[in-house]
């Protein structure tokens, strides 16, 4: 079994490289494979805000998440439609990250931002319940690093209106990844180029 370090070297994750890895994943996987039909528009308009967290524990991540939620709520959608809060130093274990998501939702409600903003997520070790770790369909929710994706509810509603078959996205993504296969996913080169942070390495070892 591959072991994952729980104490990352902060110097090994320069922010510019983390953002470069994340942007490459967005362009080649999310947009390139059309996993999210709504992503291209905000990307080409430079409305995606990238933030690399230096937090090393859940408390620090929560504090930064609060700041980014406040900032997104205050700025106009034309300048910043969505925020990717990238977390390379904390919550590297998927189960810990999954537990944190409940806290993230509670924070949105506590800030009176329910119905205005929401938090989605990606993680390099993401695994759907009932799947094997090397099941390629897990890659629909995998990213180079743990990511908290801050979204505007209004933008989601508008995107769904413009894409009448939004309910079919999930099944389409499953079919896309199954056709691609795990080797095809790895060949995309959308993993972290900083030290290995997640399940991508374990999957590569398994195939």
- Of the pLDDT bands very low, low, confident and very high (cuts 50, 70, 90), residue 13 is confident
Q: How far is Cα 180 from Cα 157, in angstroms, rounded to an integer?
A: 30
Please say if the pLDDT value at position 6 is more than 80. Answer: no
Burial (CB count <10 Å: 0-12, 13-18, 19+), residue 26? buried
Q: How far is Cα 5 from Cα 13, in angstroms, rounded to an integer?
A: 14
Mean pLDDT of the chain: 89
Helices (H), the chain: 15-25, 39-44, 58-74, 94-110, 153-162, 169-187, 199-206
Q: Are 145 and 124 in contact (CB under 8 A)?
A: yes
* pLDDT tens-digit series, residues 170-191: 899 999 999 999 999 999 999 9
48 Cα distance to chain centroid: 13
Average pLDDT over residues 14-26: 96
| Selected residue with higher pLDDT from 196 and 24 | 24
């Amino acid at each position: 079994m591959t072991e994952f370090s729980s104490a990352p070297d902060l110097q090994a994750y320069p922010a510019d490289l983390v953002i470069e890895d994340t942007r490459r994943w967005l362009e080649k996987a999310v947009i390139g494979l059309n996993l999210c039909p709504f992503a291209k528009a905000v990307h080409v308009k430079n409305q995606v805000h990238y933030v690399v967290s230096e937090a090393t524990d859940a408390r620090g991540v929560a504090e930064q998440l609060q700041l980014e939620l406040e900032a997104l709520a205050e700025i106009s959608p034309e300048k910043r439609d969505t925020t990717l809060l990238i977390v390379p130093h904390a919550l590297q274990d998927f189960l810990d990250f999954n537990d944190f998501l409940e806290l993230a939702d509670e924070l949105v409600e506590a800030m009176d931002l329910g119905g205005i903003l929401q938090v989605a997520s990606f993680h390099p070790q993401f695994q759907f319940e009932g799947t094997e770790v090397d099941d390629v369909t897990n890659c629909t929710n995998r990213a180079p690093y743990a990511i908290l994706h801050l979204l505007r509810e209004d933008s989601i509603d508008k995107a769904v209106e413009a894409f009448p078959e939004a309910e079919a996205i999930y099944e389409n993504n499953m079919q896309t990844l199954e056709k691609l296969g795990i080797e095809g996913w790895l060949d995309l080169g959308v993993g972290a180029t900083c030290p290995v942070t997640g399940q991508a390495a374990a999957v590569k070892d398994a195939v």
